[in-house]
Amino acid sequence: MKRLAVVVAIVALVASGLLALAWSQQRRLIYFPSAGPVPPAATMLPNGQDVVLDSDGIRLGAWYFPVAGGGPAVLVCNGNGGDRSGRIALAAALNRIGLSVLLFDYRGYGGNPGQPSEDGTAADARAAQAWLAAQPGIEKIVYFGESLGGAVAVGLAVERPPAALILRSPFTSLPDVGAMHYPWLPVRWLLMDRYPSIDRIGSVHVPVMVIAGDRDDIVPEALSRRLYDAANEPKRYVLVSGAGHNDPEMVDGRQMLTEIQGFLWSTGVT
């Protein structure tokens, strides 16, 4: 019995140590920023403009790609990896259908100071929205949220309703995603950043589009579908057959852009 007690004590110590490590390092498993810096906007697209946002005293780099004549604009909330340079193809495609685009990086991304967190990404999105809303000729703003950025966009839409909300590969909550990828960890108890879109989407009362790939192994399509089911009408669900989370079809694919264009026209945004 004494030996058993010693073994149990050792296992408990190891387990508690692993949990403590997981707790302290969890944001390294959530956020994957590039080191930066990024190049000037004009080197990416000819109409590019470099922008600096003020997010609670933190200066954030951003790029603005306006189209001639004004009209609706899209605020892009990035996913958890890379930086805004990885969204240039999306910005160019949205420009081609007549939409101005603001790409920005969260704190800690693309050479920006600070460390990302749920509260931080929310503040950064608010700063980006405020800047875009103040631009001449911009009367309607569409939020486009990619993966984790979908949760950021949902939270922003509750506070500051857009003309429409487009969510690409969104999830119900971060604990739901974490439980799938780390089933051996009690992620529902450990996570500090939770991004509970499933609890927020019912408070969004603007047109919603959800785009998902049926081969997404990062955010399973079932989570995107569940979030869509909880959203209010009017809404539209687009399933991209054969597409994974980061496949080109989910970045600037023809089906996705055609559906976005039709959705914005049918809801009176464009």
Task: Give the relative orientation of helices 118-133 and 148-159 as an angle to the nearest 10 degrees.
Answer: 60
Q: Which domain holds residue 225?
A: 31-266
Model confidence at 26, pLDDT cuts 50, 70, 90, reads low
Asked if residue 11 is part of any domain, the answer here is no
Instruction: Please indicate, yes or no, if residue 64 is contained in any of the structural domains.
Output: yes
pLDDT reading at 20 higher than 90: no
Tokens coding 245: 């989370």
10, part of any domain: no
**Whether residue 203 has pLDDT greater than 70:** yes
Number of domains, the chain: 1
Query: Which is nearest to 162 in space by CA: 250, 98, 102, 225?
Result: 102
Please indicate, yes or no, if residue 239 is contained in any of the structural domains.
Answer: yes
**Percentage of the chain surpassing pLDDT 70?**
90
User: Is residue 21 a part of any domain in this protein?
Assistant: no
pTM, rounded to two decimals = 0.90
- Please name the residue that has the structure tokens 């081609």: 96
Q: What residues have CB less than 8 Å from 249, skipping those under 6 apart? A: 213, 240, 242, 243, 255, 256
Q: Report the CATH number at residue 165.
A: 3.40.50.1820
Q: Would 68 be classed as within a structural domain?
A: yes
256 found inside a domain: yes
